[in-house]
Structure 1
């Protein structure tokens, strides 16, 4: 149903349905909204939705509630931002649906059948953000025109809601049109919402919006005596701010948070309250340079947020439709002729309910801190989808998501987010290219060829870590088609050309005219070594997938294609004198990326791959991999037995605490855009799989291989969750020996590999003493 009086989006609609039960019931309902909804039963919020998807996968939430006999009310706040919606938000046509599972209750509460009423909620103004930020419009809420009765289902202006089309369940419909939503049950649990208190008030000055926007933090203007007053508000103590007063308050949350804020105020007619959010302060008014994130003095706050305008009423609750992200909040209050009382400043942390079920620790406390910060980053980038970053885009990119999924596999048995990601990326192929979108859901839509290949690798990862051959088999038609489409773009010499698209490979770590906005060097022939080597690596993974499914002929084909392309790559890009692969066929440019990918390829000559790591590490003219592609660098270094080099490359992560970073950034440069980017959280994965060396030894993790490589570490202890229980391994250096303890759950066979020796592992406790050579 919809509201005929809504007009053109953006807008917010309130829907209500009053009904009476003759007896107590336990009721199951299915609910969905376009674009978003918030559902209340008798003034108690039941949930938020709809879980983010697309028109072919429009999700509905299911709730079960206990109701006593008597009068009740469903109330929904549903909104559509139209042209101002987030990049990741899809819409067909704004509306709201509530369907009781028991059809006998439909005349009582089913939308389009029961007596539902609706009205537009006045008082909302939507403020679009700069084009570089994709999180959706922010709010300017005018309390004087706001309908304060609507969210309790009271007041006037309610009109009959307008029925729309019947909901269509995806599994029962094979017709696709732009005006349909194909409904399916929500894949994920409700997002976590937990109250928290910010860490501290860092700065208070007598300034309004104009002064705050035009000057940096000046310590000489800090009203130290006001800190305690505003700190009291954060801990639940109301405060009063006199008429004709201005205050700017900088609040340090103490960590990186994604949160729903709420302000409860009385009085203050004509006042303006602005609440903005930011990841870090900046060194200058223009430009993106950051330094220590703990420091604010002399720096600029550039955040975005919302504005609230009290009407003088009592206990007015100002809240938001969507959450904010960052470490710092800036609260600016300007009162008019009436004082304002702040009763509460509430914050609810929101994210996917992801927790680390196992543990991983070593003797180097710096690395333990990296693990904690990395997992916090993963949590902040996990919501109804994975996200590249919670502050800037909130898009699920393939390149980021593959790494986030791998961290999830070693951290928890909950694989619902990885499964949804794989499914949504497969759905994204319904476009004019017939290829995976680099980010999805995304109302814009774009393609990155390397991300197409990483999506195929994601399918392999799921098969390796989780199994489910039947589900993987359903993915394989898309996997095969994706590979074949990309392989069609070949030059006469047999190499695969970069397509006409954004061929992002990695952010460059140094100035270079050869690298362009993350695209690696190539000549007029559009041939690049790293892209071809990634294709070889992906074909090898496809061969393993096909073998897992018993498709031996297809596995043989994939291996043949990989070997043939490997021969071409060695002929075109290998420089024998340097012992490295060039980026381009003219051998003008060199980077770590093709060397890293070659080491991961089984189809490249072992003689050549054997030279790569030492020559790569000693070369001074290579474009180094960034925090994102370091994941593959670490995989290559470990596979070649260079764990010391892996630990050395962790130095930027070790410097995070000193620079005030609470989460891993988009790139380790002063001009990084995002301070929270989970593609850099992969040290957790490498602690488990490359340093402690726990990996699946067969598809579906039906057996385990443990190959510790501690490098300079002297103790490493980890518990990795497995469907059968926990895999626990501890490696410790004592005197002239390595002591190795391994505990395997019931029904999981495995092997310990140490150097060139293999030791069988049995269920339960296994102990080894291995001399240090």
Structure 2
């Protein structure tokens, strides 16, 4: 779409700021009309916030892709009142000559576009409807902890536009905006409608007070939204507790206190003095306010003193914060300052969760709840690795998060966006970038394979071949790179690591965050040839995923080729020096001693070893203290491999239980650096419980057929709901006193159900569009899913 763009006639840039903020406002009168709509089309370079009569209504636009910009449609009518109204926008634009926000593609020119009907037949695109001004006194900083974000603020409110959100504000000194070059200065840019829903915005209450310093002016009042007055010439501090970690916009309202300094510090937890900011931390009990402290990047505000009880002075930091504790520090001058409120507005992707899980284990309930909270905090306009530190979408992280979300919700829009983001990144005839969208030219070779896994997962769960088919050339391009790196003796050779200072971008052969690989930044020892066993198995696994994708998309020739290539890779690697007969393990490379669980896990996932041998391999590997252990990130792969091999006893939730015992309310990034307390790749229960404990899996694209093959373990019962494109599959199973496990499944009749071979007591009924199946699991089962099918009423209930 071709949009009109506006900007300031004069745009001074503060050289000390990584970004600049501009303001636009328009006043008009509205008579009110029942059921009327006033949809505005809005976009900006790079971020905007829309206020209607002082209320935050929308934030955007969506992070742009390599060639696409996005515009939002916002209906402002529900927020208008009869009489005078104010539309107000803040636009944040990052500079090109400083890092700023690494997840936002840079534009050569700033710009705002607003169009749509206004009362009286006016069009919001008319520049004469608006007044605009730079935002003086506000500096955006990169931060020490948030090194990829550039969202920290230092504000001198004596230079601010107080009351600019209100009707009657005198904006005569503001300029009329002028036409802007077509941002981002790229003639090939395509502006598209927003493909995912807008961020949710909802009030978030405080749970309590964790700690205070200095005289207490009555901080408890803030918890109930009542004012607190700090006398003149005081320095006081309070740590407000959200109760759980969340992502939220922060704001403060105040009156009086001219010249006072207000500092807000949003932190994930209490911790010891960091070892190496921001990468290496000392963390224990996250609620230990007695021996720990809040180590995070502060925002600073110098109070103007213009506020009154009826019209308080407002400070609204532009972007959301990831916060469990918020430190409010007030240093007053000659006047007392009255804080009239410190508020949170929770934000995130509005994922509609329709999946559920419950079992006889009280721990499972906590694992499920914490996993869901973690995943939600890592979903905004893309999936994110960690919302506090980076807000970047990385391929391995996103594959896990996307798969978790597909097990709990039918909303796959963010998954589609992620698949498209990575497909469009990197070289058209080669690997994808490790993160997308964004400006970091970094390649992690294995992450391109995780993009293939993500594409296959989406096809399995959603079955939209028309969406999947256009990505086949990218799949082929990725796999061709690995095929070219395959040696005669069966190893994929990893390219040399390249630093992020290289003009062509960084190459980083990351596998996992483990203590053994800390010094090498998650890269195993690859030997002189850089023969990479783990990457070879991942390549073979991706070939099998590509085989399924091509077959489902009507490309039988490509499917057969991928199958043959996978079998060839496995035959070669199994005949190579990757296998160490003296220990019965796979090596990480072509020489040396076996070093990791990871090589064993991916051998099972690739099908290089199966049956009792695979079970023995994983049981030994998990119990072997000499092997590098899989982290939270790789546990998803470990647990899947364990179930496939029938080694269900190696599934161990102890690391997650230990996090709960340390009072985390979201899952940590890793146990090595202890950097982030919120990372979506740890939400493994969201996939594991539905897939393996309830036993529900798609056996053909889009759940045309579904397996129901529970692995009870030592549980007495489990029940839950798994969403599919056809409707939900509900499963409940229970173990009786004799040890028999009875299973009940309710599912749409459009799904062919597959249950374990040897099941007894099978009955089937139908009511309307819902089929119900009851059966008893075979007594002899060892916990490994069979995948076999049975006959239902004389018909094959299989794939």
TM-score over 0.5 (shorter chain)? yes
Q: CA 1:434 to 1:305, structure 2 compared with 1: closer, same or farther past 3 Å?
A: farther
2:316 to 316, 319, 323: 319
The answer to whether 1:239 aligns with 2:248 is: no
2:690–2:720 Cα contact (<8 Å) kept: yes
The answer to whether 1:12 aligns with 2:21 is: yes
2:619–2:650 Cα contact (<8 Å) kept: no
Once the two structures are TM-superposed, the CA of residue 71 in structure 1 deviates from its matched residue by 6.4
CA distance in 2, matches of 1:734, 1:347: 48
CA distance in 2, matches of 1:641, 1:597: 15
1:664 corresponding residue in structure 2: 667
1:714–1:732 Cα contact (<8 Å) kept: yes
Partner deviation per Cα, 1:541-600 (whole Å, 9 max, x = no partner): 101111111211111110111111112211221123322211111133421111111111
1:86 corresponding residue in structure 2: 101
2:157 to 135, 140, 143: 143
CA distance in 1, matches of 2:610, 2:534: 16
Partner deviation per Cα, 1:37-80 (whole Å, 9 max, x = no partner): 12234544432111112351211001234378976553321121
1:537 corresponding residue in structure 2: 541
1:707 corresponding residue in structure 2: 709
Once the two structures are TM-superposed, the CA of residue 621 in structure 1 deviates from its matched residue by 1.5
Q: CA 1:125 to 1:167, structure 2 compared with 1: closer, same or farther past 3 Å?
A: closer
Alignment TM-score, normalising by the size of structure 1:
0.90
576-585 or 132-141, which deviates more: 132-141
The answer to whether 1:507 aligns with 2:510 is: no
188-197 or 390-399, which deviates more: 188-197
Once the two structures are TM-superposed, the CA of residue 772 in structure 1 deviates from its matched residue by 4.2
1:388–1:677 Cα contact (<8 Å) kept: yes
2:49–2:58 Cα contact (<8 Å) kept: yes
2:599 to 594, 597, 601: 594
CA distance in 1, matches of 2:246, 2:517: 35
Question: SS at 1:195's partner residue?
Answer: strand
Question: SS at 2:25's partner residue?
Answer: strand
2:89 to 73, 76, 92: 76
CA distance in 1, matches of 2:342, 2:179: 39
Q: What pairs up with 1:28-67 in 2 under 5 angstroms?
A: 28-66=39-77
Partner deviation per Cα, 1:423-476 (whole Å, 9 max, x = no partner): 111111357x74211111121221111110000111100100001111110111
1:370–1:683 Cα contact (<8 Å) kept: yes
2:759–2:775 Cα contact (<8 Å) kept: no
Partner deviation per Cα, 1:204-263 (whole Å, 9 max, x = no partner): 112xxxxxxxxxxxxxxxx6xx38x21211211111111011101122211001111111
Q: CA 1:672 to 1:110, structure 2 compared with 1: closer, same or farther past 3 Å?
A: same
Q: CA 1:338 to 1:307, structure 2 compared with 1: closer, same or farther past 3 Å?
A: same
Once the two structures are TM-superposed, the CA of residue 127 in structure 1 deviates from its matched residue by 2.7
1:127 corresponding residue in structure 2: 141
398-407 or 179-188, which deviates more: 179-188
1:388 corresponding residue in structure 2: 385
Once the two structures are TM-superposed, the CA of residue 119 in structure 1 deviates from its matched residue by 1.2
Once the two structures are TM-superposed, the CA of residue 276 in structure 1 deviates from its matched residue by 0.2
CA distance in 1, matches of 2:175, 2:640: 61
2:709–2:756 Cα contact (<8 Å) kept: yes
605-614 or 120-129, which deviates more: 605-614
The answer to whether 1:364 aligns with 2:361 is: yes
CA distance in 2, matches of 1:131, 1:654: 27
2:436 to 440, 449, 457: 440
List alignment gaps of at least 5 residues for structure 2.
1-5, 497-506, 781-799
1:732 corresponding residue in structure 2: 734
Partner deviation per Cα, 1:629-681 (whole Å, 9 max, x = no partner): 010000000111222221xx211112222111111111135x41111011010
Question: SS at 1:441's partner residue?
Answer: coil
613-622 or 659-668, which deviates more: 613-622
Q: CA 1:84 to 1:166, structure 2 compared with 1: closer, same or farther past 3 Å?
A: closer
Q: What pairs up with 1:548-587 in 2 under 5 angstroms?
A: 548-572=552-576, 573-587=578-592
Q: CA 1:570 to 1:103, structure 2 compared with 1: closer, same or farther past 3 Å?
A: farther
Question: SS at 2:304's partner residue?
Answer: coil
Once the two structures are TM-superposed, the CA of residue 611 in structure 1 deviates from its matched residue by 4.3
CA distance in 2, matches of 1:187, 1:540: 30
Question: SS at 1:331's partner residue?
Answer: strand
Q: CA 1:345 to 1:504, structure 2 compared with 1: closer, same or farther past 3 Å?
A: same
Once the two structures are TM-superposed, the CA of residue 122 in structure 1 deviates from its matched residue by 1.3
612-621 or 193-202, which deviates more: 612-621
Once the two structures are TM-superposed, the CA of residue 505 in structure 1 deviates from its matched residue by 0.8
2:116–2:123 Cα contact (<8 Å) kept: no
Q: What pairs up with 1:209-358 in 2 under 5 angstroms?
A: 226=216, 229-284=218-273, 286=275, 288-314=281-307, 315-358=312-355
Q: CA 1:143 to 1:68, structure 2 compared with 1: closer, same or farther past 3 Å?
A: closer
CA distance in 1, matches of 2:52, 2:643: 55
Q: CA 1:408 to 1:449, structure 2 compared with 1: closer, same or farther past 3 Å?
A: same
CA distance in 2, matches of 1:603, 1:243: 73
CA distance in 2, matches of 1:766, 1:149: 64
Question: SS at 2:659's partner residue?
Answer: coil
Q: What pairs up with 1:666-685 in 2 under 5 angstroms?
A: 666-669=669-672, 671-685=673-687
Alignment TM-score, normalising by the size of structure 2:
0.88
Once the two structures are TM-superposed, the CA of residue 284 in structure 1 deviates from its matched residue by 2.9
2:373 corresponding residue in structure 1: 376
CA distance in 1, matches of 2:274, 2:631: 27
Once the two structures are TM-superposed, the CA of residue 615 in structure 1 deviates from its matched residue by 3.2
2:208 corresponding residue in structure 1: 200
Question: SS at 1:395's partner residue?
Answer: coil
1:650 corresponding residue in structure 2: 653
Q: CA 1:480 to 1:115, structure 2 compared with 1: closer, same or farther past 3 Å?
A: same
CA distance in 2, matches of 1:69, 1:252: 39
State how many pairs are aligned: 738
1:491 corresponding residue in structure 2: 487
Once the two structures are TM-superposed, the CA of residue 734 in structure 1 deviates from its matched residue by 0.9
2:189 to 181, 202, 210: 181
Question: SS at 1:542's partner residue?
Answer: helix
2:123 to 108, 119, 124: 108
Question: SS at 1:151's partner residue?
Answer: coil
List alignment gaps of at least 5 residues for structure 1.
169-176, 207-222
1:717 corresponding residue in structure 2: 719
Q: CA RMSD in A?
A: 2.6
2:462–2:724 Cα contact (<8 Å) kept: no
CA distance in 2, matches of 1:101, 1:557: 55
2:454 corresponding residue in structure 1: 458
1:242–1:339 Cα contact (<8 Å) kept: yes
1:19–1:109 Cα contact (<8 Å) kept: no
Q: CA 1:254 to 1:755, structure 2 compared with 1: closer, same or farther past 3 Å?
A: farther
1:14–1:150 Cα contact (<8 Å) kept: no
Once the two structures are TM-superposed, the CA of residue 3 in structure 1 deviates from its matched residue by 0.8
CA distance in 2, matches of 1:710, 1:626: 25
1:405 corresponding residue in structure 2: 402
CA distance in 1, matches of 2:195, 2:340: 38
Partner deviation per Cα, 1:172-224 (whole Å, 9 max, x = no partner): xxxxx746532111011121111122111121112xxxxxxxxxxxxxxxx6x
2:504 corresponding residue in structure 1: none
1:13–1:118 Cα contact (<8 Å) kept: yes
Q: CA 1:755 to 1:609, structure 2 compared with 1: closer, same or farther past 3 Å?
A: farther
2:24–2:133 Cα contact (<8 Å) kept: yes
CA distance in 1, matches of 2:549, 2:117: 40
CA distance in 1, matches of 2:329, 2:491: 59
Q: CA 1:493 to 1:640, structure 2 compared with 1: closer, same or farther past 3 Å?
A: closer
CA distance in 2, matches of 1:349, 1:712: 38
Q: CA 1:758 to 1:127, structure 2 compared with 1: closer, same or farther past 3 Å?
A: farther
Q: CA 1:516 to 1:55, structure 2 compared with 1: closer, same or farther past 3 Å?
A: closer
Q: CA 1:42 to 1:295, structure 2 compared with 1: closer, same or farther past 3 Å?
A: closer
